[in-house]
Structure 1
């Protein structure tokens, strides 16, 4: 598995895509609050297609695919570490976590927790959107479980992982908390709230992109000579032997 790719170019292209999606989202926000004929088909279509607060549209698919790409790279790293006799279970765990996050981004699993969490904890203020309470508990548990593993990573990779995590969590949880504080008082149909969820999604997408870059850096640093083989050589030899026997027969 030898990667000779321009990491900086990939990261730049990812952020260009994020910038374009963010611009499209701002256009949809403008249409929501400044278009008289909100019921117009074109306006509704653009909002549905570009607004980051809605499901099953361009920003959602992009975010989900980036997170899924992270999961695939994590699985490749697990494979590589296993091949050289290194520890790989932590990488498999991270890969499964990112598969779930990608799925959650696509079908909004966390939104299903909002009502029961709010009813259970009677939340308000910064905890107005209570769905992230169980998520934060899981993050703390994973942080404790993965602490030694993280400390064993090369410093460059560790810094990139921390940066990606801080950016992503600051958007997914930090901005969500501020948005909840605003929404409780002023409602969710305000320009301020729209700008808040816009910045939240921008940070989430940015965190996923930075993490993707970090994983590529890790792969280049550790697996320069590793090759992926999908069919064992023994099977190929058996096939050749069977063909030889058929020809002689």
Structure 2
């Protein structure tokens, strides 16, 4: 279990990588999707310009400055108090807000946001319908709910690693869950791109159990060229628009 204050909200599940190793997770954020594939795909589903953007599970606030560069008023919500404090420190003077709160009880008014985004924030998925209902509540009619997750069934290095390290994970069950909730899935491939192999090794170490992580680091080390710093990574972009006729 992660150390530190208890999370806000009974349904909040600790994030073992981010909560325990925020400095290493920062390296992962810096390496992830430098080409901006994810944000471009989101922008094709709902215009960023003028949008009020909610980042649910914003962590240390890494993505909020980028959202602020092309949206009107990004806001982060984070259940883990040390991360919420870190996000506020990071964003001090920027005008970007961060609220300590739970996905199951978002501290926001009804129909107040245009885009609700969560990136690898695992309180969304089977058994977490209350969080999805809260997103629906705070979205304006026609707004976009969009969640970034792993695409374990795809052909990518990260997908292969994940399937090997976590054999109990049920990708078909996850797909059925999202379909039942009315979400569509857009499949994308991004990259982890690291400047240093030791940073890649550290990130692999917080994402996988030790034995599996050691194998994956060895696999990268065996690649003598620049590709040893880069990992292809398939993701599933889960999305749905709020009913434009909703009250």
Q: TM-score range by the shorter chain?
A: under 0.3
Using the size of structure 1 for normalisation, the TM-score is 0.23
Using the size of structure 2 for normalisation, the TM-score is 0.23
Q: Greater helix share, 1 or 2?
A: 1
Query: Which structure ranks higher in relative contact order (CA pairs < 8 Å, sequence separation ≥ 6)?
Result: 1
